[in-house]
Copies of this chain bind each other. A is one copy, B any other.
Amino acid sequence: MSLAGRDLITMSDLSTDEIGSLMETAGHMAEAIGFDSPAAGQTFAPLDRILATCFFEPSTRTRLSFESAMLRLGGSVVGFADPKASSASKGETVADTARMVSGYADIMVIRHPSAGAARVAAHAASIPVINGGDGPHAHPTQTLTDLFCIQRKHGRLDGLTVGLYGDLKYGRTVHSLGTTMARLGSRCVCIAPEQLAMPDRYLDEMEEISGERPAQVNTLDEVLGELDVLYCTRVQAERFPSEEEYQKVAGVFVTDASVMERAPESMIVLHPLPRVDEVHPEIDEDPRACYFEQAGGGVPVRMALMSHLLGLEAPRSSFAGFGGKHETRSEPGRARPQAESETLPASAIGECTNDKCITRQERFLEGEWYKLPGDPPRYVCAFCEEALDG
């Protein structure tokens, strides 16, 4: 099963074998570009492939790392960085934009404020589509980048304890990392203020995958000693009902020198960046502070992903890097169970009620539901993946 010609919209589009294959290729790409030792970089050859970067909202980091990755592969880039410069301002649908771009490029990455927009683009486009972040829904290349850094630092992705820290309610990054680490055989602990706790649906999913429900605590010190990875995210003032309630937790969810003093020697600190105040610059020189190396790893990871989707490199047939514990369980069923499910049109069940869903924003886009097994069966929107309201 090759990745050539496929899309990447959520991490569940990938089997654990495919994740492993991407990590292995990313390692080769890192060597090729001299990621650790610039002098060791390999010969560069022009490649006649064009990436289209379709950014309906700004994101410098994601856009530049994709562009850099395509250029490092020898290819080139077209695109837009701003919705005002796109045809969307003239009322064009996401589907039409994706069809148009299919004529101008060989692969596209889309970023959009609405959940499910990347899936809409993937349905319409005739070229591979990568989700570069669709509102609150998913941002799978961030997760692949996180995995690559963890793999490099700990030499494996199973048997680790990952502390998800900060805003676990709204952060798509931690939702995706948590469920993926569960698939790969690691456990997560959730450290968050009550108001920003990990939603039950993700706790349920992690429990279903690994048989163990992640622990939930309110303070870092309860679990600091057992962490292999501390994954920090920002606690934003606008998530709280009042400035007063925000201030109660704002000063607490900060990773600084005093935290690092109490942390294990082998615990790495990650952050999806940009940070504001939640990781203090005073720890930047600590060898355990890996967030800039993590960000840089986004280039070989995206090189690997694009080379696979473009069919430039055959995925390795065997990958032995992960522990075997969950392989059987999660293979191949965990790769998009939805995609193998029965689908029903919105006309049969009703419209998606998620305000952020792309089906609520666009004309000419009929909703669809995946019917998931169970008694009674569950229905999730085929675009934003939110469950059907009772």
Q: Which residues of B contact A72 (CB under 8 A)?
A: 48, 50
Bound form: Cα–Cα A97–B76 in Å = 23
**A50-B68, A64-B78, A89-B58 given as contacts; is B295 within 8 A of A103 (CB)?**
yes
Docked Cα-Cα span, A97 to B102, in Å, equals 32
Give every chain B residue within 8 A of A60 (Cβ-Cβ). 80, 85-87, 97, 100
| Stretch from A16-24, A176-184, A274-282, A376-384 contacting the other chain | A274-282
Q: Which of B48, B80, B81, B277 makes the CB contact (< 8 A) with A80?
A: B81
User: Is B58 a contact of A91 with CB atoms below 8 Å?
Assistant: no
Within 8 A of B (CB), among A331-377: 363-364
Instruction: Tell me, in angstroms, the Cα distance from A48 to B33 when the chains sit together.
Output: 9
| A273 in the interface (beta carbon within 8 A) | yes
Q: For the complex, is A296 an interface residue (Cβ under 8 Å from B)?
A: yes
Residue among A64, A71, A91 with the highest chain B CB neighbour number at 10 A: A64
Asked if B275 contacts A104 (CB within 8 A), the reply is no
CB–CB A48/B58 < 8 A: no
Contacting residues, chain B, for A86 (C-beta < 8 A): 58, 60
Q: Which of B58, B85, B90, B296 contacts A102 (CB 8 A)?
A: B296
Interface residues of A in 186-212 (CB under 8 A from B): none
Q: Decide if A298 is an interface residue (CB 8 Å cutoff).
A: yes
Encode contact with B along A36-67: 1 for CB under 8 Å, 0 otherwise. Answer: 00000100111110101000001111001101
A240 within 8 Å of B by Cβ? no
**Given A58-B85, A100-B295, A274-B91, are A44 and B52 neighbors across the interface (CB < 8 Å)?**
no
Q: How far is the CA of A64 from the CA of B100 in the complex (A)?
A: 10
> Range of interface residues on chain A?
35 or more
**Shortest Cβ distance from A95 into B: residue:** B281
Chain B residues with CB under 8 A of A59: 87
Chain A 271-304 near chain B by CB (<8 Å), digits 1 or 0? 0011111001100000000001101111100000
State whether B90 touches A274 (Cβ < 8 A): yes
B61, B76, B364: the one contacting A281 at CB < 8 Å is B364
Chain B, Cβ-Cβ closest to A101: B64
Q: Given A60-B85, A292-B99, A76–B78 Cβ distance below 8 Å? A: no
Q: Report B-chain residues with C-beta under 8 Å of the C-beta of A281.
A: 95, 364
* Cα separation A89 to B64 with both chains bound (whole Å): 16
- Identify the closest chain B residue to A296 (Cβ): B103
Distance, CA A29 to CA B89, complexed state (A):
31
Interface residues of A in 120-140 (CB under 8 A from B): none
B58 and A292: CB pair below 8 A? no
A59-B87, A103-B296, A103-B298 are known; give 19 further A-B pairs, CB within 8 A: A44-B47, A52-B64, A60-B85, A60-B86, A60-B100, A64-B79, A65-B103, A67-B104, A81-B82, A82-B82, A87-B273, A91-B276, A92-B274, A96-B273, A96-B275, A103-B295, A103-B297, A103-B299, A104-B299
